[in-house]
């Protein structure tokens, strides 16, 4: 499997692009305060998924997936702040929040799947020892 075929990675890339387009229309003060923090956190989600994907061992891979999940939660906080400070509309907030929730569920499933797969491999190795 290639990284570009990984659904959770593609969803994180889409979220990053959505956020980038929103921030690009903000005034300089908003960009330099909330915007920079938000774009760093949202881009960190995809970056950590890809770094984890490139790791050989599942524990290393999941280590970066946990970072991605943390960055997703951070992104949720920055999105909430942008809404409460009236930089985005309720509709956009709901859209981004929905995307974050969906990505969070899929990221959790991806982490669980990687852990289960590694446990199955361990069980097979133990059977043959």
User: The CATH number of the domain where 38 resides is what?
Assistant: 1.20.1440.60
Q: Decide if pLDDT at 121 tops 70.
A: no
pLDDT at 123: 40
Q: Report how far residue 4's alpha carbon sits from residue 123's, in angstroms, rounded to the nearest whole number.
A: 30
Tally of structural domains, the chain: 1
d(CA 37, CA 79): 10
* Per-residue pLDDT, 8: 97
Q: Domain range spanning residue 81?
A: 3-128
Residues 26-46 have pLDDT tens digits of 999 999 999 999 999 999 999
> Is 90 exceeded by the pLDDT of residue 129?
no
> What does the alpha-carbon distance between residue 39 and residue 43 come to, in Å, rounded to a whole number?
6
Tokens of residue 115, six digits: 């852990």
- 62-68 long-range contacts, CB within 8 A, separation 24+: 62/111, 62/114, 62/115, 65/107, 65/110, 65/111, 65/114, 66/111, 68/12, 68/44, 68/107
Q: How many helices and strands in the chain, by DSSP H and E? A: 5, 0
Q: Residue with structure tokens 């984890």?
A: 52
Taking CA 73 as the corner, what is the angle to CA 99 and CA 12, rounded to the nearest 5 degrees?
A: 40
pLDDT-based confidence at residue 115 (cuts at 50, 70, 90) = confident
Residue 118 pLDDT:
57
């Amino acid at each position: 499997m290639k990284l570009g075929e990984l659904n959770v990675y593609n969803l994180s890339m889409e979220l990053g692009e959505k956020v980038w387009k929103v921030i690009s229309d903000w005034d300089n003060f908003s960009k330099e305060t909330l915007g920079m923090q938000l774009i760093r956190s949202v881009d960190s989600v995809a970056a950590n998924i890809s770094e984890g994907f490139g790791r050989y061992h599942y524990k290393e891979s999941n280590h970066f997936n946990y970072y991605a999940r943390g960055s997703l939660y951070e992104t949720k906080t920055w999105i909430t702040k942008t809404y409460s400070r009236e930089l985005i509309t309720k509709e956009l907030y709901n859209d981004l929040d929905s995307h974050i929730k969906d990505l969070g569920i899929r990221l959790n499933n991806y982490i669980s799947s990687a852990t289960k797969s590694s446990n199955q491999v361990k069980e097979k190795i133990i059977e043959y020892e």
